[in-house]
Chain A
């Protein structure tokens, strides 16, 4: 057994211990289990939201993107900041609504805002599928991190099983408190590790940041400029818009808002988040440092840039520390996904869809039974591949952004729209996405004569525009029909 392996195992055991201990002194009602009894202050909400927003993607993806794609990766810094700015108004309004209507799940919000259980069920199904994709990504990331950091001693499959079992155990016992208490350690650790690696690696290998970029520029001329095809400037700008609008529509990020004690805890959280986003800038430095130090990683392998350069630079025990932190970056969001998906399945799909008479206590119990099953299904799809399901789940996760028009309309000081508009808008957006994903339709094929600027606009944004127009049009039409009916009756 090497040093790295021992350190990673210690991290996992520590997370499990902290996660289970988080239950102490609490009776777990559904509200306590799912949203912490709405008693979390600014710091804990911050840690929880940061914990979910900065997952294995920050760890592997951000450095991998800088390594393989260069400047287009900077969209990540931009969309985060704009999403938090939007959150400054959006989240307190969402918190007020959720608290008033005792929402515990993501789709509770839509069901109560539009007074439609059917909308709640539809949103739940999309959300559960979308979260499956995200859980699969987290587990896959966990497998990569552990197998790389353990120098191949632990195969990814074993790591995925261990990680999934740990998550299921502490979430079943402690609910959201388990995730929150691990998030505290994880956030501090990832901050320290990212800042350290982001500064140390460029200095160690190149003697400075400017020197590093000079040498990248010399070795790969033009790499530090925005590409003129593919991920162009208009892709960059349209993707910033799409991802910043969709940022909070990931159910497990959104429901952390519910856990807040006060409205200003939510608002302060949006103020702090851009600062924490700096972690990503340091991860970019790691990715850039890896370009010349561990060249030749392409495709999905570019996600290994961080781990490869770390292994080349440091002794095994430190590689183990980084692997351990990597495990935590998968555990926190992974466990929040499990928690939210099982709450959605039990409360919003089972009870709202099939058994309205089921008691709160029964729903709580059911959620805890569904949780391990959902975890098992995710592990199954990670290990067995199952390309069709994964494609479906990924489709659902991009569909989540399509909830934006109906979500934001319900938060306006004078709420606009109705459930018909919401259904029609989401449906129209889904159709455009389906055409884009299923039949490879994009602006280049739709408008053959269009310039690169138009052709590389993100299709998700096109779907969102179609969705918004449909939502507004159908809401206005269905409303005016009611008015006409009233006038006719009077005559």
Chain B
């Protein structure tokens, strides 16, 4: 596994702690229900996390050079 993929744990941890935090930290955040603000912010950060992974996990380069893409495809993970 590529180290950059560890970032994916952040949104998972965030979405699962949201409900608990809302009960223990406060019911409102930035004027909205805590959980709503929390989930909206993490929705956006989930995209950011994926952009970072896309930049650094090599799939961006594979997309640019078609030959590399084909090479990847030969080693596909799907059962075949």
A residues neighboring B (CB under 8 Å): 70-71, 74, 77-78, 80-82, 84-85, 88, 92-94, 96-97, 99-101, 112-114, 208-210, 213, 224-226, 233, 236-237, 240, 262-264, 267-268, 270-272, 274-275, 277-278, 281, 284, 410-413, 415
User: In the complex, which of the residues B19, B53, B60, B78 has the most CB atoms of chain A within 10 Å of its own CB atom?
Assistant: B78
Binary contact track B11-37/A, C-beta < 8 Å → 1, others 0: 110011011101100011001110110
Contact between A81 and B11 (Cβ–Cβ < 8 Å)? Answer: yes
Contact between A96 and B78 (Cβ–Cβ < 8 Å)? Answer: yes
Inter-chain contacts of B60 with A (CB < 8 A):
264
Inter-chain contacts of A410 with B (CB < 8 A):
78-79
Partner of A81, one of B43, B78, B80: B43
Partner of A93, one of B11, B15, B40, B76: B76
Inter-chain contacts of B63 with A (CB < 8 A):
262-264, 267
Contact between B46 and A274 (Cβ–Cβ < 8 Å)? Answer: yes
Contact between A225 and B19 (Cβ–Cβ < 8 Å)? Answer: no
**Interface size range on B against A:** 35 or more
* Assembly CA distance A411 to B78 (angstroms): 4
Beyond the given pairs A84-B50, A240-B15, 11 more chain A to chain B contacts, judged by CB atoms under 8 angstroms and listed by A's residue number, are A70-B33, A77-B43, A92-B59, A99-B73, A210-B31, A213-B32, A275-B44, A281-B39, A281-B40, A284-B36, A411-B79
User: In the complex, which of the residues A113, A271, A281 has the most CB atoms of chain B within 10 Å of its own CB atom?
Assistant: A271
Chain B residue nearest in CB terms to A225: B27
Query: Given A226-B22, A278-B43, A415-B78, A81–B51 Cβ distance below 8 Å?
Result: no
Asked if B56 lies at the interface with its beta carbon under 8 angstroms from chain A, I say no
Contact between B43 and A277 (Cβ–Cβ < 8 Å)? Answer: yes
Query: Given A113-B79, A263-B69, A208–B46 Cβ distance below 8 Å?
Result: no
Chain B residue nearest in CB terms to A113: B79
